[in-house]
Amino acid sequence: MRAPFARIEDRLYQNRYLVDAGRPHIRVRPHQSPSANLLALTRICPAKCYQVNENGQVEITVDGCMECGTCRILCEANGDIDWSYPRGGFGVLFKFG
Ligand code: SF4
């Protein structure tokens, strides 16, 4: 019997991502210790692109970014990140299946 609702992870798996090698569209500005907002990104990014590295700094891997803008709203204005859309043809490819 088929479940009535698909899990969110199953739906996200339908998306594809075209990597623009060497040109990430979001960058975390260099920092010694992360701000509270940067740390929050490790929990609220729906694609889990942000992680704390072994030095305690927040870093990003943009592969899988859904361009939702959450991190842009939280951290661009205070200078923690530089945010732009991927170049045309790159980035997330949404599937509806
Ligand atoms: S735009 Fe959304 S999915 Fe992409 S890194 Fe920011 S919070 Fe994550």
- Take atom 4 of ligand 1 and give the residue whose Cα is closest: 65
Pocket perturbation via mutation, ligand 1, pick of 17, 25, 26, 58 by most ligand atoms within 8 A of CB? 26
In this prediction the pTM is 0.87
Q: What is the pLDDT of residue 14?
A: 84
Q: Tell me: the pLDDT tens digits for 82-96?
A: 999 999 999 999 875
Pocket perturbation via mutation, ligand 1, pick of 28, 49, 58, 81 by most ligand atoms within 8 A of CB? 49
Q: Which architecture characterizes domain 25-85 according to CATH?
A: 2-Layer Sandwich (3.30)
Per-residue pLDDT band at 3 (split at 50, 70, 90): low
Q: What is the pLDDT of residue 54?
A: 97
Q: Tell me: the pLDDT tens digits for 10-38?
A: 877 888 899 999 999 999 999 999 999 99
H, E, C per residue of the chain = CCCCCCCHHHHHCCCEEECCCCCCCEEECCCCCCCHHHHHHHHHCCCCCEEECCCCCEEECCCCCCCCCHHHHHHCCCCCEEECCCCCCCEEECCCC
Q: Tell me: the pLDDT tens digits for 54-81?
A: 999 999 999 999 999 999 999 999 999 9
What residue spans define the domains of the chain? Answer: 25-85
Residue 22, judged by CB atoms within 10 A of its CB (0-12, 13-18, 19+), counts as exposed
